[in-house]
Structure 1
Amino acid sequence: MLGKLRKYVNEVLPKTVGKYLSKIGLTPNGATLIGFMFAIIAPILAYYRIYVLIPIMIVLSGLMDVVDGAIARATNKTTKFGAYLDSLTDRISDMLFFLALIFAGVNPYLSIIALGFSEVVSYARSKGELLGVKMEGVGLLERSERLILLFIASIFAIFKLNLIANIIILIVAILGVITIYQRSLKIKKELKNQ
């Protein structure tokens, strides 16, 4: 859904932020791991009821997820292991953000359902690409949209407006189902044409 913005970011960031950060010694995998550390911190903060910092951890982790790719493109250091590490830490980070929201009072059952569909969304992309189908930009709920929704839910959780946070998590689950369907249709269509 944010495909046009992503295209712009992928063109501009490597030339600016990516070059600068690579000059100060930050590697793509280093940026990935820094973003992952922010995700690890989120549920710890939530467990200790420091809810106000959860949205910040989501933003910083999401930002580093953009930065790692910018550094890789700026330095021509895109590697298969880097792509694997990025994808792996993204999946675990998603789980950690949902856990943080559960600690902050969001419905755990709804969160588990939304997390499950979110993981299947990512799996559908991965499997589709293994089958040779280009999956970037397919579906309503890619990771960037999911992080935005989790960020918004975490803001409402800070103020104990858990009903609204639960509705947002329900939206994540519903959009996840729709995205799985959209990606499955795309894969079926592309494989039919091969």
Structure 2
Amino acid sequence: MLGKLRKYVNEILPKTVGKYLSKIGLTPNAATTIGFLFAILAPTLAYFKFFIAIPIMIVLSGLMDVVDGAIARATNKTTKFGAYLDSLTDRISDMLFFLALIFEGLNPYLSIIALGFSEIVSYARSKGELLGIKMEGIGLLERSERLILLFVASILALLKYYLVGNIIIVIIAILGAITVYQRSYRVKKALND
């Protein structure tokens, strides 16, 4: 959904932010790890009722997820392990963000359903790409959109608008289900062609 913006970011960031951060010694895998540490902090701080940290950790983790790719492209250090590490930590980070929202007071059952569809969205992409089908940009709810919605839900929960926050979680689940369908349709169509 944010494909056009992603294309712009992928062209500009490596030449600017990626180049600068690589010069000060930050590697793509280090950026991925830092982003993952922010994700770990989200439920940890939420458990201790430091709820204001949740949206901040979501933003910082999401930024590092963009930065790691920018550094990799700026330095021509894109590696298969780096891609694997990025994908793996993204999946675990999603789980940690939903856990933080549960600690913050959002419905655990809805959160588990939304998390499940989020993980299946990612699985559908990786399985499709294993079959040799380009999957980037397919579907309504890629990770960037999911992080934006998680950020909004965390702000709403912080303000104690739990009903609206839970509606956002339901939207994540519904958009996730639609995205799974869209990606499955894309795979079926590509394989039939």
What CA deviation, in whole Å up to 9, does each residue of 1:130-153 have, x standing for no partner?
000000000000000000000000
- Structure 1: 5+ residue stretches without partners: none
Is 1:111 paired with 2:105?
no
The Cα shift of 1:20 comes to 0.2
Find the residue that maps to 1:145 and give its secondary structure: helix
The Cα shift of 1:53 comes to 1.0
TM-score with structure 1 setting the length: 0.99
Partners of 1:78 and 1:180 in 2: CA distance: 27
Match of 2:150 in 1: 150
Stretches (4+) displaced over 2 A: none
Alignment of 1:35-184 (within 5 A): 35-184=35-184
Match of 1:27 in 2: 27
The Cα shift of 1:87 comes to 0.0
Letter of the 1:131 counterpart? L
Partners of 2:104 and 2:159 in 1: CA distance: 10
Partners of 1:11 and 1:159 in 2: CA distance: 37
Partners of 2:113 and 2:57 in 1: CA distance: 22
* Percent of aligned positions that are identical: 82
The Cα shift of 1:160 comes to 1.2
Find the residue that maps to 1:60 and give its secondary structure: helix
Partners of 2:141 and 2:93 in 1: CA distance: 16
What CA deviation, in whole Å up to 9, does each residue of 1:29-55 have, x standing for no partner?
000000000000000111011111100
What CA deviation, in whole Å up to 9, does each residue of 1:98-134 have, x standing for no partner?
0000000000000000000000000000000000000
What CA deviation, in whole Å up to 9, does each residue of 1:46-86 have, x standing for no partner?
10111111000000000000000000000000000000000
Partners of 2:160 and 2:20 in 1: CA distance: 40
Find the residue that maps to 1:114 and give its secondary structure: helix
What count of residue pairs does the alignment treat as equivalent?
193
The Cα shift of 1:159 comes to 1.1
